[in-house]
Amino acid sequence: MEASAVVTVDRVTKRYAGHTAVRSLSLEVPRGGIFGLLGPNGAGKTTTIRMLLSIITPDEGRVQVLGQEGAGRELSGRIGYLPEERGLYPKMRVLDQLAFLGEAKGVSRWDARKRAKAWLERLGLSDWGLKKVSDLSKGMQQKVQFAGALQHDPELVILDEPFSGLDPVNSQVMRDVVVEFARSGRTVLFSTHIMEHAEKMCDRIAIIARGEKVVDGTMAEVKRQGGKTHVALGFTRNALAAKQVLADRSLVAQVDDAGASAEVGLAPGADPERLLKALVAADVGLSRFEVVEPSLQSIFIAKVGQEAARPVAQEVA
Amino acid sequence: MNKILAVIRREFVERVRTRSFLIGTFLVPLLGGIVGYLPAALSKRETATRTIAVLNDATGTVARRIDSVLSSQRIGEDSAPRYRVISIPAHGRMDVVRDSVIGLIGRREADGDAPVGLLILTDSGIESGKVSYLGSDVTSFRNMENLDHSLEPLVRDERLERRHADSALKVAASIRLDLQTQKVTEGKITGESGETSFLLAYIVDMFMYISLLLYGVQVMGSVVEEKTNRVVEVLVSSLTPFQLLLGKVIGVGATGLLQLGIWSFTGLYIARVLGGHSAATVMAGDTSQAGFHMPNVTPELVMIVLAFFLLGFLFYSGLYAAIGSMCNTAQEAQQAATPVTMIVVVGMITMFSLINEPSGSLAQILTFIPFFTPLVIPVRYAIAPLPLNEIVLGAGVMIAGILGVVWIGARIYRVGILSYGKKPSLRELWRWVRTA
């Protein structure tokens, strides 16, 4: 194990009544940067995160956070957490609420209030500090919760599906905050099933499905492991003919078809030029033909597979 | 420790800030005062002179004396006469005259002089003591009692006179028995009457019952609220379930003590201001205005009540918190809590039989069942101080009960607060307790 690892998960298994949520999972999150925990619904992301925070204990294996084993709660002052299930006390004033969350992390009362005020200002919510939480819009409540996870200046922030349910503007605000946070040398671990977010933000990722790790590494490593030559395509007509060309398994191993555009992974040994010739011959009105790095989306689908992308069981909430 | 303080402070401040707390704290004693005072005040109020017909078929002068005694009574001091008496001699036509007078009673169209009632005097009635009064106001407790009190000596004197008793005998015969009760505890006269002692035990019983139920249910509500709002997950990432639970219980308990304190204070104040005008004295038929003696609340009793409120609250809030953590909504929790609530209600009702026999075998047994201990010991103490060893043993049983409840409750709570969906079966609960 690297000494610099902030989080080390070593062959961890967690079983629930009917099924195994996490199976012999090993992960390592190095210090600094943004780590993406990717997987379809029900893959075991939330269960893994809860074990990191010692909210639940693993049945087998070891979890080490900030160099200590099974001590998530004693370390909670150094960890920030945004759960998937958002929740605040609806009748509490926003400022009191944030200050309380800070105090629960061990920040002193006056310091907690000061920090809460600063964060409200930063997120443009200064005028709402004395309002009740229930008076805020959903997006504002999300921001407040976000501030709650970050205000005590933790070394490690764990965000479970942080961008779900946010409009593009607020989503951007939060992403900027996360990126800036990671840039200051701290570590961000977030889970998502939206690959575009992960692709834009993450330095490292791990993909898990059905409780097991499918792939992990730096973004470049994962893409290299994706192996195949990927080509991004755009058509202006005759999509049906294009489909027939792409169905040729000696040429194309994998298709992520989006109708007027597609990303394909070439079959082993196939040459991009052969594909180009075939497409030109099919007269599809080619508007784009570019050999690209595989997108995370296509890697995800290749690794997890359509079948596994379906949830195994209800995600253990 | 600071984290627990933060939870306590949040629970306390947010609770005290709510409108329902303010209303509950200040309106309840006010309403209580009104409920206690109004009937008494209203039933004391007499507005107008009432006309009573006296149908006389008796020999002698008794009718005339009744006439003069009733006519001389006044409403309050120096105000209107209470009764206007119409004397009607029967002249042997009793039934006819009676029926025609009854025909006038309670008729709306009749003017103010119409009689509200008819008193029938016959020789046999005077001898047997069964004097008839037919009227529209017979449901008035106060009117009937006043009539009874006014007539009793006159009829008695008439009977004595018919037997030619002298006046000294009449005076001697008119002295009534008045049993003077005084409570003796531990060989000392306390100066309390039996009634005040009963009243005190009753008040203590109600106080314990209401406070245990009220604040126990509040702990449950607070647990469920955090679950339905999904705040609980952030909280358990920072706090241990034990810190969260302990802070919550202490916070609610402190709110409870504050509220109970304000209630007791205003209650005592109202009782003192109203003095003898409370409903209780009117119900007890105490028209003598002698007043209502405040029961003798000793500091020891206050300490026992507070101590066992705290023990009982810890015990029951542990149970209620466990139940709350298993449920998803407040309604569901209320249903699931019914068995526990029933136990408290049963305990409260059992105390009534206990007041009659505070040292009986039932009382002895209930004292050492943790579900009932917090009700039994203060009530028994209010009647007569208990030996110290019984109190200590009761407290010991309570502490053992609390440890048991907290041990099981905290385990259920730990798993329950993160479980959504179907309420767990008993078997699942047992697994929670074992695995947590």
pLDDT, position A96: 93
Give this prediction's pTM.
0.73
Number of Cβ atoms within 10 Å of the Cβ of A85? 16
Q: Does residue B208 share a domain with residue B77?
A: no
Kindly report the nearest CA distance between residue B311 and chain A, in angstroms: 27
The answer to whether the CB atoms of B239 and A72 lie below 8 A apart is no
The residue of chain A with its CA nearest to that of B19 is A91
B211 plus B350 within the same structural domain: yes
Is B405 within the bounds of a domain?
yes
Residue type, B283: M
Q: Search chain A and give the residue with CA nearest B244.
A: A104
CA distance B4 to chain A (A): 8
A93 or B194, which is more confident: A93
Q: Which of A142-156, B32-46, B201-215 has the lowest mean pLDDT?
A: B32-46
Q: Is the pLDDT of residue A310 over 50?
A: no
pLDDT at B34 over 50: yes
Question: What is the structure's pLDDT at B282?
Answer: 41
Q: Are residues B28 and B101 in the same domain?
A: no
Q: How far from B147 is each of A312, B49, B112, B114, B131, CA to CA, in Å?
A: 86, 14, 20, 18, 11
Q: Which residues contact B283 (CB under 8 A, 6 or more apart)?
A: none
| Residues B165 and B265 placed together within one structural domain of the fold | no
For residue A98, give the 3-state DSSP assignment.
helix
Structure tokens at B13: 């401040």
Q: How confident is the model at residue B108 (pLDDT cuts 50, 70, 90)?
A: low
Residues of B in contact with A79 (CB under 8 A): 237
- Residue in chain A lying closest to B1 (CA): A106
Residue B230, min C-alpha distance to chain A (Å): 5
B74 closest CA partner among B87, B84, B59: B84
- Is B43 a member of any domain? no
Is the separation of the CB atoms in A33 and A44 below 8 Å?
no
CB contact under 8 A, A103 and B239: no
Residues of A in contact with B234 (CB under 8 A): 81-83, 87, 101, 104, 145, 148-149
On whether the CB atoms of residues B280 and B199 are closer than 8 A, the answer is: yes
Distance (Å) from the alpha carbon of B29 to chain A's nearest alpha carbon: 27
Domain A5-221 fold: Rossmann fold (3.40.50)
At B267-312, the pLDDT tens digits run 777 666 665 444 444 444 444 434 445 566 777 888 888 889 889 9
- Better-predicted residue by pLDDT, B269 or A9: A9
Average pLDDT of every residue of chain A: 84
Are A207 and A221 spatial neighbours (Cβ–Cβ below 8 Å)? no
Of B297, B294, B271, B204, the closest CA to residue B40 belongs to B271
Residue B62 and residue B28 share a domain: no
Q: Of the candidates B229, B238, B421, which has its C-beta nearest A88's C-beta?
A: B229
pLDDT single digits (tens) B215-254: 999 999 999 999 888 888 888 888 888 888 889 999 999 9
Residue B229: list chain A partners with CB under 8 A: 87-90
Last residue of a domain, one of B173, B201, B217: B173
CB crowding A267-280: b at 16 or more within 10 Å, else e? beebebeebeebbe
Cβ(A87)–Cβ(A149) below 8 Å: no
Give the CATH number, domain containing residue B132: 3.40.50
Which of A55, A89, A100 is opposite residue B237, by nearest beta carbon?
A55
Contact B420 A317 (CB under 8 A): yes
Residue B280: its pLDDT value, please?
Answer: 45
Q: Cβ of A55 and B418 within 8 Å?
A: yes
Dist. CA B204–CA B98, nearest whole Å: 53
Q: Residue B152 domain-assigned? A: yes
Asked which of A138-152, B82-96, B246-260 is least confident by mean pLDDT, the reply is B82-96
- Residue-level pLDDT at B313: 92
How far is residue A17's CA from residue A294's CA, in Å, rounded to a whole number?
Answer: 39
Of A76, A86, A148, the CB nearest to B230: A86
Q: Is residue B428 scored above 70 in pLDDT?
A: yes
- Residue B9 and residue B75 in one domain: no
Instruction: Provide mean pLDDT across the span B70-79.
Output: 77
Indicate the SS3 state at residue B262: helix
Residue B347 tokens read as 């305990």
Contact of B116 with B70, CB cutoff 8 Å: no
d(CA A210, CA B365): 57
pLDDT tens per residue across span A169-211: 888 888 888 999 898 889 999 998 888 888 888 999 999 988 8
Q: Both B146 and B61 in a single domain?
A: yes
Task: Give residue ranges of B with CB < 8 Å to any A CB.
Answer: 2-3, 6-7, 10, 13-14, 18, 225-226, 229-240, 418, 420-421, 428
- The per-residue pLDDT for range A85-117, each reduced to its tens digit, is 888 998 899 999 999 999 998 899 999 999 999
Which residues form the domain of B76? 49-173
In a domain, B28, yes or no: yes
| Residue A240 one-letter amino acid | L
Distance CA A296, CA B296 (A): 81
Give the pLDDT confidence score for residue A85 in this predicted structure: 81
3-class DSSP state for residue B83?
Answer: strand
Q: Is the pLDDT at A314 greater than 80, yes or no?
A: no
Q: At what angle are helices B388-416 and B426-435 packed, to 10 degrees? A: 100
Q: What is the pLDDT of residue A306?
A: 53
Numbered residues of chain A with Cβ closer than 8 Å to any chain B Cβ? 17, 50, 53, 55-56, 72-73, 76, 79, 81-83, 85-92, 96, 100-101, 103-106, 108-109, 145, 148-149, 317
Strands (E) located in chain A: 5-15, 20-30, 33-38, 60-65, 68-69, 79-82, 156-160, 187-192, 204-209, 212-218, 230-235, 252-257, 261-266, 286-292
Q: How far is CA B88 from CA B52, B65, B150, B424, in A?
A: 11, 14, 19, 80
Please tell me the distance from the alpha carbon of residue A104 to that of residue A102, in angstroms, as a whole number. Answer: 5
Please check the confidence at residue A2 and state whether its pLDDT lies above 50. Answer: no
Please list every residue in chain B whose beta carbon sits closer than 8 Å to the beta carbon of residue A96: 10, 13-14
What per-residue confidence (pLDDT) applies to B217?
Answer: 92
Mean pLDDT of B17-29: 86
Q: In chain A, what residues touch B231 (CB-CB under 8 Å)? A: 87-89
Based on the domain organization, do B17 and B98 belong to the same domain?
Answer: no
Hey, what amino acid is at A182?
A
Q: Say what the pLDDT of residue B285 is.
A: 42
| Whether B247 and B110 share a structural domain | no
The correct CATH number of A228-293 out of 3.10.20.600, 3.30.70.100, 3.30.930.10, 2.40.50.140 is: 3.30.70.100
A21: CB partners within 8 A, 6+ apart: A14, A15, A44, A47, A211, A316
Q: What is the arithmetic mean of pLDDT over B258-268?
A: 81
Do B203 and B328 share a domain, yes or no? Answer: yes
Asked whether residue B208 falls in the same domain as residue B248, the answer is yes
Three-state secondary structure string covering B196-215: HHHHHHHHHHHHHHHHHHHH
- Of the candidates B173, B208, B241, which is a domain's last residue? B173
Give the model's pLDDT for residue B6.
92
> Within 13 Å of residue A93, how many CA atoms lie on the same side as its CB?
18
B100 and B219 belong to one structural domain? no
Give the per-residue pLDDT at A313: 42
Q: Which of B86-95, B118-127, B169-178 has the highest mean pLDDT?
A: B118-127
pLDDT at site A71: 63
Nearest alpha-carbon partner for A72 in A31, A112, A105, A38: A105
Which chain A residues are within 8 Å of B10, Cβ to Cβ? 92, 96, 100
Total of domains in chain B: 2
Q: Judge: A73–B3 Cβ closer than 8 Å, yes or no.
A: no
* Beta-ladder partners of A271: none
Residue B10 in tokens: 């949040």
The candidate with the shortest Cα–Cα distance to A55, out of B7, B241, B327, is B241
Kindly report the nearest CA distance between residue A290 and chain B, in angstroms.
46
Q: Where in chain A is the domain with CATH 3.30.70.100?
A: 228-293
Q: Which of A106, A195, A98 is nearest to A140 (CA)?
A: A98
Strands A204-209 and A33-38, how do they pair?
parallel
Q: What is the average per-residue pLDDT within A65-86?
A: 81
Write the DSSP symbol of residue A185.
T
Asked if A88's CB is within 8 angstroms of B237's CB, the reply is: no
Distance of residue A79 Cα from the nearest chain B Cα, in angstroms: 9
Element (H, E) at A244: helix A239-246
In a domain, B388, yes or no: yes
